Structure 1
Amino acid sequence: MNTDTYPNIYDFTKCRNVAICGDIHGDFNLLVNKVCIQYQMKDTLIIVAGDCGFGFERKGYYENIVKRNVERVVKFNNWFLFIRGNHDNPAYFDGKAFCHKRFIAIPDYSVVKTNGHTILCVGGAISIDRQSRKESWEHGKSKMHRYDDRTIADNSFTTNNYW
């Protein structure tokens, strides 16, 4: 495969198993617990296909999730790849913003090779609730300004309801 055409290739060919799930909506701890403890999955690549929950908490929250779970994930020799959903902040999905050895939020149109499969990962969608989420966010910002002189920084990783 030409890497100029597909620059984001992730090779997990040493994984024995692959599992795909979605819509965890930020419940990372539960996911790791189910995969490693409840189902005793080992040597597995888990692909979370959208609505992972990135962007609803501060950036440090997600780093703490990794610290809290990395020992268990290493023990079971598992990896977690996150694909952007319509309720995820795109800023996390550049392959760098949330990139750890066992937990990676991958860019749209990444190619994943695993267990004899080649998977094209296309993230995002248009959400039917986007307008109400945007209005709710704007209302929340104006309410916050009423009681607080601080302004919300124009930051890609600022928490939000829709991006």
Structure 2
Amino acid sequence: MIIQVHNVKLFFFYMDRKNKVVTVDGIKVKLQIWDTAGQERFRSVTHAYYRDAHALLLLYDVTNKTSFDNIRAWLGEIREYAQDDVVIMLLGNKSDSGLERAVRREEGQRLAREYQVAFMETSAKTGLNVEAAFAHVARALIAKANPVDPSRLAVRAHPTQEQRSSCPPCS
């Protein structure tokens, strides 16, 4: 997936490529999604994309413990090949599966905290949190592309009456 925010690009690894436009806070963000479905045969391809990626969504299936266990390997590769400031979000999909669940929500939250990445559970079937996940990533990219200037946040003292009278523009 590629998101363009004023010349910023975001790659998500879906070999099935789709385009999506997300509007957050009045700003349109174009996403290009590349789905590898976590398949091993795409590993060498994804290494090349890591370098240019501005954000990555890592999905695991909450009904498949192996898919969750593989996330650590993907996160390791991302840490090795991606930019240091890449936005990463961990998504536990099929959250609507109920009793079939093999990975508890708390396990996903714990892994996300360990790697300091955002976390959300989704359901592609019901649509739960799918748009919210894209919006979260788009919002993070916009913030990264437009950092707040700390000098604009500085507290400034108002000039005293004495300073105003000695400074014509301050009066």
Higher helix share: 2
**Which is higher, the Rg of structure 1 or of structure 2?**
2
TM-score band, normalised by shorter chain: 0.3 to 0.5
TM-score (norm 2): 0.36
Greater RCO (CA < 8 Å, at least 6 residues apart): 1
